[in-house]
A = this chain, B = another copy of it.
């Protein structure tokens, strides 16, 4: 089993490290910045926000454009269509994703709840797979959306047992991403996390009102970066009912954990 662990991932890590592949790293920064914005960006804005010179930014954009990762209209740049085939490739071919689908289907069938798989990405998490249960969730399907680690069962369970030092970074990341108020503190976060000894997390009306959730991490050595969750609208489930699904969820998580053995990122 390998443990490499480079950075906690994602940009925003200008901790003074030399960091190899400067031009590539910077290109990824530009790409990330384009995603952050919800509308096309001017060259000068991108350059300023990424802290690099205009010529450099322009050159990066041109290369990304050549590969369809970036589109340009007049003088504004945005994410390009090449991300679609990439996302499709991920969803269709990633071993964990493909393996989880039947597992989630089984759990959803047995419990009647909606079953989901989340992956940690930097200081956020994203929904990767969802299999609907009997009662539909009313909020829109946030597949691929950046969600907080600090809110919602599926996020919090990824933080259970993490050292304070790491949690402190998570707090900073959540604030930086706008998921939490600037006053958000380590103590507040720790109060939300499941008690030590509990291997699942529960949430009610946390990330979305009217939604209950239990989640379990897919564990391997070290901090987990994936979790599975059961979710249901309040009118279709009680806390008790949801928690009755925990054993099922535990079994599913164990099955997927085997597959993950060895995953570095």
Contacts and interface: CB of A to CB of B under 8 A. Distances in A.
Contacts of A165: none
Nearest to A124: B85
Contact of A74 (B35, B71, B72, B262): B262
A265 B10 CA distance: 27
Contacts of A6: 62, 65-66
Interface residues on A, range: 35 or more
Contacts of A92: 38
Given A28-B69, A68-B10, A84 B263 contact: no
A93 interface: yes
A145 interface: yes
Contacts of A69: 28
Number of copies: 2
Contact of A144 (B39, B79, B85): B85
A72 B95 CA distance: 11
A227 interface: no
A221 interface: no
The CB with the most chain B CB atoms within 10 A, among A1, A7, A38, A84, is that of: A84
A82 interface: yes
Interface in A99-140: 119, 121-122, 126, 128
Contact of A84 (B21, B128, B260): B128
B94 A63 contact: no
Contacts of A93: 37-39, 78-79
A56 to B, nearest CB: 10
13 contacts: A2-B75, A6-B62, A10-B68, A11-B67, A20-B63, A35-B86, A71-B265, A73-B264, A79-B94, A81-B94, A81-B121, A83-B83, A88-B145
Interface of A: 1-2, 4, 6-7, 9-11, 20-21, 23-25, 27-28, 31-32, 34-35, 37-40, 59-60, 62-75, 78-95, 119, 121-122, 126, 128, 143-146, 260, 262-265
